[in-house]
Copies of this chain bind each other. A is one copy, B any other.
Amino acid sequence: MLTPLEISAPFSAISRMGGLRLLANCSQCPIRPASICSVLDRRELSEFEGMGREASFAPRSMIFMEGASADAVYNVTTGLVRLFRLLPGGQRQIVGFALPGDFLGLPPGDRYGFSADTAVKTTACRFPRRNFIAFAESHGPFLRRLHDAAARALDLAHDQMTQLGPRRAEAKVAAFIFAMRRRWLRLNGASTLVPLPMGRQDIGDYLGLSIATVSRTLTRLDRQRVILIVPKGVRILDSSRLEQLAAH
């Protein structure tokens, strides 16, 4: 297990965040169809654009911390964000990964319910919460879209719980690869190549396994020719066998 400082870059790293740039050309944005902003028409989009800034983050830098005042919301455009909670014992439970197109940062109260940091270089559209909420309240369909995003996040959370339970390591890892493929599919289209930009420790903290077990299990799947381990990901060789293992 890791101490907070080892998990993500210390505060100084926040200063590594690149400058904020104005949003431009939302209408050309490749991830817009998969995003909350997909429901906005041209006029609404330009109003929306004016509220936000593009924020870019170095690898392993903090976006926000659990318990901090939730005064900005984010829409990830590139990279990968780790969402996690720290237990009193110092262990980290990753409660989700945010991919391009995912929306973050509107908890029930006014404080973030989990921490978020980047696994790799990441960019996101950042909006002040006040303005964002005001905008949502005056655009009904957008508010509905937000509810939809929350319901989708809940659904993903349920998927993950189903994985976290007392299942075999092989089933967890196989199901994880499957789930990641399904999520990338919406963005990159169908492919047997599944990017895994996060490290082994991250996968372990997501599935409730030790780094050693994650590594061993992947190696075993590779040796059985079910997958092929490639840099920063895996290639699925035998999809039906993988699905079968995921089912347990």
Interface residues in chain A, defined as those with a beta carbon under 8 Å from any beta carbon in chain B: 85, 87-89, 91, 93, 95, 106-108, 113-114, 137, 140, 143-144, 146-148, 150-155, 157-158, 160-162, 164-167, 205, 208-210, 247-248
Contacts and interface: CB of A to CB of B under 8 A. Distances in A.
B162 A161 contact: no
Given A143-B144, A147-B150, A165 B164 contact: yes
In this complex, the member of A89, A95, A107 whose beta carbon has the largest number of chain B beta carbons within 10 angstroms is: A95
Q: How many copies does the complex hold?
A: 2
Minimum-distance CB pairs A-B, first 3:
A88-B247, A157-B157, A164-B164
Contacts of A87: 162, 167, 247-248
In this complex, the member of A93, A107, A154 whose beta carbon has the largest number of chain B beta carbons within 10 angstroms is: A154
B161 A108 contact: no
Contacts of A88: 247-248
Contacts of A95: 158, 161-162
Contacts of A161: 93, 95, 157, 160-161, 164
Contacts of A106: 147, 151
Given A95-B158, A108-B155, A147-B150, 20 more contacts: A89-B248, A91-B167, A93-B162, A93-B165, A106-B151, A107-B155, A108-B148, A108-B151, A108-B152, A113-B155, A113-B158, A140-B140, A146-B147, A150-B154, A153-B154, A154-B157, A157-B161, A161-B164, A164-B208, A165-B205
